[in-house]
Structure 1
Amino acid sequence: MPDLQVSIAQHYHERTKYDPQTIHAKSQALNWEEQPIPFKAYRFGTSFDLKPYLSEETNQGDETIWWQRLSKLLVCSYGLTGAIPTNGEPHYLRSSPSAGGLYPAEIYLISRGTPYLPAGLYNYQSKTHTLIHFWQSDVWTALQSACFWNPVLEDTQLAIVVSAVFFRSVWRYQDRAYRRIFLDSGHLLGNIELACAMTDFRPHLIGGFADEAINQLLYFDVNQEGAIAVLPIADLRELRENLPLARTALPTTPQLEYPRIPDGSLLSYFHQATQIPDNPNAKVNWQVPEPKAQQDKYNFPFCLKVSMTCPPIDWSPNLSGLEQTIIHRRSTRAFSGEKLSLDELRAVLDFTYQPQHYIEQNFDRSPDYFDLSLVETFIAVSGIQDLEDGCYYYAPATQELRQIRFKNFRRELHFLCLGQDLGRDASAIVFHTADLRTAIEQYGDRVYRYLHMDAGHLGQRINLAAIHLGLGASGIGGFFDDQVNEVLGIPEDEAVLYITALGRPRKRE
């Protein structure tokens, strides 16, 4: 039997670590004949074409304006933004990044019944930028019940459900795909948050719901697909939908007893173990908990401390600069090795961690995450002007970098990023980590979902800030876990969630 003091989330994390001694033995050749299609098809349903509403002509009626807002929200969240030619069907790119271009997430829209969108269930077809109305009936009460009567659903009329189609990522990343799926979904949540800011909507994040009830509501084959986040979308142009915040995350009981799980079955077992059972009589206190006192970590008297305060990034009137950045964003494939300026790094971190600086540009002062107090940020600096090389801890509350290690780790970074040149040539690499044991004590094994989606959400804000400033950015979900801890000089039980490399993009010859 596994160690009974180790929950299934800790067991999963240890089992799916990449290790230099075993990574090649565990790797499997891809079966290209089984490569999954990253689009879901429906054989029936009414189609609502959103393409005519991509233009924003003025002097339109209320109905057209509403459809324009919804169309922009969806295309900037998960719509197609490009295509790479292949021998067969082109490989389509979307506004939200995805590991390996596999796009495991699906977007569903649930309507309570609005003047413009009949009640029922919709799937967003990103390939054609349409909504498929595949179930026509009043399902809102069932949604409320499945979300344990979250108060945000009392006054909203629309909700987005994000699901994961597991095999799309499992095909390439095996059991470790669970990490990638939730990082990708975090990117998507970041896009939804920012797209809502452009369209006068406000997403309210719900991570605590009865999984089986939501899956049945949307007619999922649970062996293939599962709901992972619910987001009621408040219309800020409707006064009654300017709602107070509610708790976003609910706990599960840590699972300490489990059988020996063979490779290939770990992901599905773990996902099942992190589900919240349906209980119509459950009473949930949805009030937002009091903010926790921020721990002042790595604040050594001798360490170099660098203020990261700076003017906010200007995203242009009506956030047009943000829209263009989302549409044209691409993951950087190669860095030049040139240094970035300290002000550029300051601006990226400011947009990512200080949303209150952007309220005058119509951003949300406090966007929803599951629990950011659990996620820590470290930065390995190899090429920032006026900043000594080394590893730093970023303290969001005081907006400063605190140096914790004092050498250039470029060689080690190249190695721990699985030999990717992005790790070697990056000017700075951002690491998101979490004390997994402490997080599980608070939220149970379901916290593994929350941590990775929050890390992906932060990563997407880093991506967009960097691209807007003309820099390069690339998320890295494959790394030698334990070697990251060694380089950063952090405890072994600090779980590494995500890496984002920043640098000057290499110019194409």
Structure 2
Amino acid sequence: MQTFHEKTNITLKKYYSEPQFIDYTTQPSSQKIYPHFYRRFNLDEYETLSFIKNFAQATFTKQYGKEHVNLRTTPSAGGLYPCEIYIQIRKVKGLLSGVYHYEPLQNALTLIHELSNDGLEVYFEEFTTAQQFIFLISCVPFRTVWKYEDRSIRYLLLDSGHQIGAVNTACNLSGIHPTLSTNFDKEKLNALFRFQNKEYFVAALSIDLGQEANIKPLREALPFVPACDYYLPHPFADDFFTHYNKEAPFSLALPSLCSLINQQVIDTRRSCRAFKNESLSFNDFKTICTELFELSTSLGIEIFYINNNIEELPLGLYKNVSCLKEGDFRQKAQELALYQALGAKSAATLFFTTSKKSAYAKSTILSAYLAHSIYLKCSALGLQCSGVGAYFDEECQTFLQTSNNILYLICIGK
């Protein structure tokens, strides 16, 4: 997997030599829709399932000329939303036990397979009991490949991590605490869902029903439904997901990262496009980052940050709470972030990194999961946040004086 990361580095030569033109009239659809004859359930009519709307529903609509863009509860690179969500549900009053597809813009569940004595539990290594909920997250590579080509593999993992963060937050808000797992037969489920190498399962979150059950494999494969209105093959992305399926799986009881969370915080979370170049109080910075630094260390993720404008803290480069070198590095932060002003005018730019020996996909996904908590805390505190997936990789490593992979940049401020 390390090879894939290195092949997608942005260098000065690539930045200046590769074409930047994108024909936005060719953008593929960003939501999978099953045919009209499938049975649908409006989530507004099921109070016990109301938390699902916070997975990915549209919370704001922006207009660009004649085009309308629906912004969802999760950030997404380029607003392309490559993630889809499938949910197995058991024993919810008034709802058939089955496998559903979530349609975020309609806030509806589409029944795609009614359960009998079968279920998805069979394809997970650790399940010995029936699960009330299994939330499966998939990626549709072409939605992101269309714009970002090979580097899209990074954004697909980052978007998946944000999606996991959104699902976990929505569950926590309802007093539910799921377990994250990649320890399931992805290849088998990809085949059963008839993804045909156009869509791939990435991770799952689950809630145990706590009941023993003699569950059988799915009795039939699901019909093929395209995830985009058109599709072009991209061997590099397909090869990446083939290798992803072979990376060592993991399971993790996800902590709740945001005690400030409420419905308003979720509804008002946005990715900002510009900062006001104003200072950030040290107390707000501690609220955002103290727990983050502690948890990231336990997950094998090292966070550096450039302090551009945090009150009561010397300007400079830091690693967690330790200052590595003092100085005004605002211009450097802008250069590293592909000359984007976000890097310089934010109060702080955080760099998520991990050792080259770490499980690459896991570290990238969990970096975005942690970053999602930053978004939510900024929203709760009335601050701004923006994730940056495009940066000069080697220049970042040189400035940070690390051989770690650079996985993600997060800018925070006002």
Q: Aligned equivalents of 2:391 and 2:19: distance in 1?
A: 14
Verify the 8 A CA contact 1:405 1:489 in the aligned structure 2: no
The whole-number CA distance in structure 1 between the counterparts of 2:251 and 2:149 is 38
Which residue in the other structure is 1:49 paired with? 42
Separation (CA, whole Å) in 1 of partners of 2:118 and 2:181: 15
Partner in structure 1 of residue 15 of structure 2: 23
Pick aligned residue for 1:406 from 319, 323, 326: 326
In the aligned structure 1, how far is the partner of 2:388 from the partner of 2:339? 12
Q: 2:407 matched to 1:487?
A: no
TM-score relative to the length of structure 2: 0.87
Measure, in 2, the Cα distance between the counterparts of 1:502 and 1:20. Answer: 25
Matches of 2:24 and 2:251, distance apart in 1: 48
CA–CA distance in 2 between the matches of 1:13 and 1:285?
A: 19
Distance in 2 (alpha carbons) for counterparts of 1:466 and 1:476 = 16
Preserved CA contact (<8 Å) 2:181 2:249: no
CA contact (8 A) 1:83 1:90 kept: yes
Alignment of 1:241-390 (within 5 A): 265-276=235-246, 315=260, 321-353=261-293, 372-390=298-316
Rg (Cα) greater in structure:
1
Q: 1:189 to 1:342 in 2, by over 3 A?
A: same
Structure 1 residue 416 and structure 2 residue 336: aligned?
Answer: yes
The yes-or-no answer on 1:216 pairing with 2:156 is: no
TM-score normalised per structure 1: 0.72
* Structure 2 partner of 1:249: none
Alignment root-mean-square deviation, CA? 2.6
* Contact persistence 2:181–2:252 (CA under 8 A): no
3-state SS in 1 of match to 2:13 = coil
Distance in structure 2 (CA, Å) of the matches to 1:313 and 1:115? 30
Corresponding residue number in structure 1 for 2:176 = 201
CA distance in 1, matches of 2:400, 2:251: 37
CA deviations over 1:22-64 (Å, ceiling 9, x no partner): 2232335223332011111111311001124xxxxxxxxxxxx
1:74 counterpart SS class: helix
Task: Show the counterpart of 2:223.
Answer: none
CA contact (8 A) 1:348 1:466 kept: yes
Change (3 A) 1:174 1:450: same
Structure 1 CA distance for aligned equivalents of residues 305 and 413 of structure 2: 13
1:74 aligned to which of 45, 52, 59? 52
Distance 1:163 1:496, change over 3 A: same
How far has the Cα of 1:500 moved from its partner? Answer: 0.3
The residue identity in structure 1 corresponding to 2:207 is I
Cα shift readout 1:431-463 (whole Å, capped 9, x = no counterpart): 110012x21xxxxxxx32211110000000011
What residue is the counterpart of 1:37 in the other structure?
A: 29
Shift of 1:89: 5.1
Summarize the Cα distance change of 1:129–1:15 in structure 2 as closer, same or farther, 3 Å threshold.
same
Residues 27 and 14 from structure 1, CA distance in 2 versus in 1: closer, same or farther, beyond 3 angstroms?
A: farther
Whole-angstrom CA distance in 1 between matches of 2:309 and 2:252:
41
Q: 1:386 to 1:103 in 2, by over 3 A?
A: same
Q: Which position in structure 2 is the counterpart of 1:307?
A: none
Question: Is it true that 1:136 corresponds to 2:114 in the alignment?
Answer: yes
Q: Which runs of 5+ in 1 are unaligned?
A: 1-8, 53-66, 242-262, 278-283, 290-311, 316-320, 356-368, 395-400, 440-446, 505-509
Q: Which amino acid aligns with 2:195?
A: F
Conserved in 2, the CA contact under 8 Å of 1:313 and 1:347? no
Q: What is the SS of the residue equivalent to 1:429?
A: strand
Q: Secondary structure at the match of 1:12?
A: helix
1:361-388: CA deviation from partner (whole Å, max 9, x where unpaired): xxxxxxxx9x953211111111111111
Note if contact 1:206-1:230 (Cα within 8 Å) is conserved in structure 2.
yes
Q: Which amino acid aligns with 1:47?
A: R
Identity of aligned residues (%): 28
2:189 is paired with a residue of what secondary structure? helix
1:218 deviation in Å? 2.5
2:202 maps to which residue?
Answer: 228
Q: Which residue matches 1:247? A: none
Structure 1 residue 110 and structure 2 residue 85: aligned? no
Unaligned segments of structure 2, at least 5 residues: 212-232
The answer to whether the 8 A contact 2:121-2:130 is kept is no
Say if 2:182 and 2:249, in contact at 8 Å, map to a contact too.
Answer: no
Please tell me the residue identity of whatever aligns with 2:283.
Answer: D
Decide which moves more: 454-463 or 111-120. 111-120
Quick check: 1:210–1:276 contact (8 Å CA) kept in 2?
Answer: no
| Structure 2 counterpart SS, 1:90 | strand
Are the counterparts in 1 of residues 54 and 73 from structure 2 also a CA contact under 8 Å? yes
| Aligned-residue offset at 1:313 | 7.7
Counterpart for residue 191 of structure 1: 166
Report the counterpart of residue 498 of structure 1 in structure 2.
408
In 2: Cα distance, 1:70 partner to 1:119 partner: 13
Map of 1:147 onto structure 2? 124
| Distance in structure 2 (CA, Å) of the matches to 1:25 and 1:420 | 18
- Structure 1 109/344 Cα, relative in aligned 2: closer, same or farther at 3 Å? same
